Amino acid sequence: MLNRFPALVVFILCNLYSFSQTAKIQDVWVDYNIFKNDMKGLSVHTKFSVRNMQDKKVECIVAFYDENKNRIKTSSTNYQTSNNSAVTWTYVTPKYKSTTFNDVECFMPYKALEMAEGKHRYYYKVFVRDADANILASSDYYRFKGTGAKKTTNVKSAPKQTKTYRHTFANGSYTDVTEKPDGSSTHIHHSPCRSCKSSGLCSMCHGAGQRISGWGRYQSLTMCTFCGASGKCKFCGGTGENVMVSFYDHKSQSMESFDVNSGKKYFSVAGGNSHDNNYNSSTSNNSTCNNCHGTGVDPYPWSDPASNALQRLPWCYTNSEGSQCPYCSERAWHQHYKCPSCNP
């Protein structure tokens, strides 16, 4: 009887093995830089066999570890466990009592691994489980190198605020600019008065308010009709400067300007040409003007493009680089405005 006991134990063990669910991992390899569903990553391939799992779901899982063999955490919900560990898996169903799967592929996107910045050593390990999450087989740790992208911190930009600053120019003019959060802006341009040379005095009576008319003993002192006896420059009102206020609308990309001294308004739209040579000298009010000599064009050249653009005025003549200007004889690029003396 005692001689039969070992044989009985062997028989029982053999029967238990023949009915137990088992798995064996035979080979593991990996392919890098694989694209799936427009995502770049790695694919882990596993060859394994299972027994007594016919028509039952078998899960092949690949888990990932850092260089200290601690589980890598991820925020990607499609590639994580309940405790946020990075994994990828594939389900298979054996058709026979003893089945071998030659190539079960598990794809893992690089971005789901959320690797640390720079080059580091990582590991992955393969597990075979049944439907009840019982581990039937596991592989060794397999090493690979990964390079994590530089981490960037998303900082919310502060809300835009109204910004005020000043542009100054070589000719003594300046512009105070106020930019609003919606993209619109206000430009107040101050420029020296060309008629009175910034003195604020009438260019005819030189501030006296009276003029001497007649000849010899027939001379008499009369009221200056140019300034209305005020003695002030009629173009700047005695301030010695010209002021242009412009309002820029971001939505329509247009600018409306108002000449404070003359009361005239100007309007320009993006893409419009406000610098064409479209001035006709015949519009001059005085063909014998001492300033322009009947051309209707102020002979003073404005050669600062930034200052000219900010004023948004309908310049009456623009001289091209290299061409001799008919009004001042200069050959550099510049612009001329209407004569202030005969075109109030």
Q: Please report where in the chains the tokens 């990828």 appear, as a residue.
A: 88
Q: Are 300 and 323 in the same domain? A: yes
Residues 258 and 122 in one domain: no
pTM score over 0.85: no
**What's the mean pLDDT in 221-245?**
84
What pLDDT, on a 0 to 100 scale, did the predictor assign at position 194?
79
Of 148, 178, 208, the residue that ends a domain is 148
Strands 174-179 vs 39-51: parallel, antiparallel or unpaired: unpaired
Indicate whether 123 and 187 sit together in one domain: no
127 and 39 together in one domain: yes
Q: What percent of the chain has pLDDT over 70?
A: 74
Residue 4 lies in a domain: no
Q: Where are the alpha helices (DSSP H) in 41-86?
A: none
Q: Do both 173 and 309 map to the same domain?
A: yes
Burial class (CB in 10 A: 0-12, 13-18, 19+), 213: exposed
- Whether the per-residue pLDDT at 108 is higher than 60: the answer is yes
DSSP 159: P
Task: Find the mean pLDDT for residues 195-221.
Answer: 79
* Domain-located, residue 213: no
Note whether residue 179 is domain-resident.
yes
pLDDT reported for residue 152: 65
Q: Which residues pair with 84 in a beta bridge?
A: none
When comparing pLDDT for 151 and 10, which is higher? 151
| Choice between 90 and 255, residue whose per-residue pLDDT is larger | 90
Which of 138-142, 195-199, 234-238 has maximum average pLDDT? 138-142
Domain residues for 253?
163-200+236-336
Give the DSSP H/E element, type plus range, for residue 307: helix 305-311
Q: Are residues 285 and 169 in the same domain?
A: yes
Asked, for residue 220, whether it belongs to a domain, the answer is: no
325 against 276, higher pLDDT = 325
Identify the CATH number of the domain in which residue 128 sits: 2.60.40.10
Pick from 75, 77, 59, 70: nearest CA to 21: 59
When pLDDT is averaged across residues 74-96 and rounded to a whole number, the result is 93
Residues paired with residue 191 on neighbouring β-strands, in sequence order: 242
81 shares a domain with 38: yes
Give residue-wise pLDDT tens across range 235-286: 788 888 888 888 888 787 777 877 787 777 766 655 443 433 333 433 434 4
For residues 96 and 90, the answer to whether their CB atoms sit within 8 Å is no
Is the pLDDT assigned to residue 7 strictly greater than 60?
no
Residues 30 and 64 in one domain: yes
According to the model, what pLDDT value does residue 15 have? 52
Mean pLDDT to the nearest integer, 140-153: 83
Are residues 189 and 271 located together in one domain of the fold? yes
- Do residue 89 and residue 130 come from a single domain? yes
Largest CA-CA distance found in the chain, in angstroms, rounded? 167
- Nearest 5°: the CA angle 43, 49, 53 is 115
pLDDT value at 80 more than 70: yes
Specify whether 104 is located in the same domain as 186. no
State residue 216's pLDDT score. 65
Q: Sign (positive/negative) of CA torsion 296, 298, 304, 309?
A: negative
Asked if the structure places residue 86 within a domain, the reply is yes
Provide the number of structural domains found in the chain.
Answer: 2
Q: Is residue 14 part of a domain?
A: no
In a domain, 230, yes or no: no
Q: What is the mean pLDDT of residues 223-246?
A: 84
pLDDT at 243: 85
192 close to 307: Cβ distance less than 8 angstroms:
no
Q: Same structural domain for residues 71 and 174?
A: no
Residue 55 maps to a domain:
yes
- At residue 34's C-alpha, the angle toward residues 109 and 40, to 5°, is 40
